[in-house]
Structure 1
């Protein structure tokens, strides 16, 4: 008989009742025999509690009260968790069928590491088409440095309890980039990362998607992470932050038209180097384009 390691999944949520049920069903629908699901609701004022109560016989622990943010809620959940394998999934994402059985098998064979898999990203606008695209974590993890670009897809990542103990909890002072900061701390502690050739989750973009609306606060958090883990890229990121709101300026549009007239590749990075040849002279097109994706 196979041994099924206990998997603990923490789901933080706040006022996402319209999405939460799909997340819960994607977890419970795995029918994994040794599952611990903990739902940490931040005191939602919609009908999230009704959704949770609908499945409370299959939920190990849940609470609905004001918390100190998403990172604090996840930390609180992991303090109560007793599983051998840990992961969290937000209340707007979903697990792919069979994900947990795959996770248990991988950990049994590979041991104490951070495992990173692939993901199906999707966006459905009301009354509009469904857009969907996949990830390429294998290629990104080979070509890119994690301290330069966050290629880890959080709902498709998992790790053992010992990895969590070695690394410590999420940084509760961060509200947008705590997952990237935690993965970088993992690496700094000597924890190995291993790519898993499976699509483990579905990542939903929607109107209330938190990371998409982080704005200046999110970028400020990322800048501080660059300063700590990759200071060589921090100055470039700071410059790009200054330019983030100027993409549609008259000078930008004028240069873009000129480059188009001369049939040049008018990428944003090339425009910046054309408009500010002194400021961006020492940075490569590739570096600029990569960090623009982190804005």
Structure 2
């Protein structure tokens, strides 16, 4: 019997945790295939845990994994997986401000039961739940075939060019894969998922992608993504990750990736000038020169590889 656990990372989510847990409890008979539900709480100072316990009415056990200090989202996930890895073969991760659609467990567990041993993760598309309550739909095509992204250099190159198509909230991770590939790197608050996906594909693990929107992903102006854009953290992290895979890229690929980041930076610079955000203007120029220096170094490295 395959042991499947649900892991919910949380931190001060008293306004949303009940919606998340209620959405899990609507998964009908598929919830019976779950061995346990865990909340990995990163030292919440609000009523997150009390509300979670009051909301949960399923016979499936709800277990709290409290942290002794606030560690941040990636270290919190790493800590929790380490705690449950001996009792689970697969870990389903759902953020404590997201909502599972009624067919989430059915589609994910069906694939867990049918997939081959080289599949390390199963993910899907998602809908974006905007702050104003509107929904921006993702890819939801019942007629489209399941896609298997094999773990090889071509998949790594494609993921470098496309970005992180793998979505952690709502996904399933084979515990054996995570042990083989290592933890999420907390050095990359914004792109730890992308860096981990690249590392996993490089190690030869395949990923299944379900072209259906199985969760509602709540957009938040105070999210890690929003904060990263404000400080250009996403670009700084890119500059640390890309040199590790330089041998898989062609010169045109390299130019495309750097040109893309320069375009991001230019748009942010214009916005900063309009809003008279002088600190961000200065940061934009700093990161621009970092991009140029990194591009020259990577081009030199590519030239040495070709020779």
Confirm or deny a common fold (TM above 0.5): yes
- CA contact under 8 A between 1:117 and 1:153: conserved in structure 2? yes
8 and 97 in structure 1: CA distance in 2 versus 1, 3 angstrom threshold: same
| Larger proportion of helix | 2
Q: Give the equivalent residue in structure 1 for 2:269.
A: 246
Q: Give the equivalent residue in structure 1 for 2:282.
A: none
Q: Aligned partners of 2:171 and 2:11: how far apart in 1? A: 22
Q: Give the equivalent residue in structure 1 for 2:130.
A: 123
SS of 1:49's partner is helix
Deviations 1:27-56 (A, max 9, x none): 233251132222122212222122133256
Aligned residue runs from structure 1 range 75-224, under 5 A: 75-81=78-84, 82-112=87-117, 113=119, 114-125=121-132, 130-135=134-139, 145-148=158-161, 149-215=163-229, 216-224=232-240
- CA contact under 8 A between 1:223 and 1:237: conserved in structure 2? no
Specify every segment of 5 or more residues in structure 2 that has no aligned partner in the other structure, as ranges: 150-154, 275-291, 293-307
- 1:29 equivalenced with 2:32 (yes/no): no
Q: Aligned partners of 1:14 and 1:199: how far apart in 2? A: 25
Q: Aligned partners of 1:227 and 1:118: how far apart in 2? A: 29
**TM-score, L = length of structure 1:** 0.72
RMSD: 3.2
- CA contact under 8 A between 1:226 and 1:234: conserved in structure 2? no
Deviations 1:3-43 (A, max 9, x none): 6x322222212112101111122223325113222212221
- CA contact under 8 A between 1:85 and 1:161: conserved in structure 2? yes
- CA contact under 8 A between 1:120 and 1:133: conserved in structure 2? yes
- CA contact under 8 A between 1:49 and 1:64: conserved in structure 2? no
Deviations 1:81-131 (A, max 9, x none): 222222322111121113123222212211231222121222132xxx624
245 and 195 in structure 1: CA distance in 2 versus 1, 3 angstrom threshold: closer
- CA contact under 8 A between 2:139 and 2:211: conserved in structure 1? no
* Matched positions, count: 247
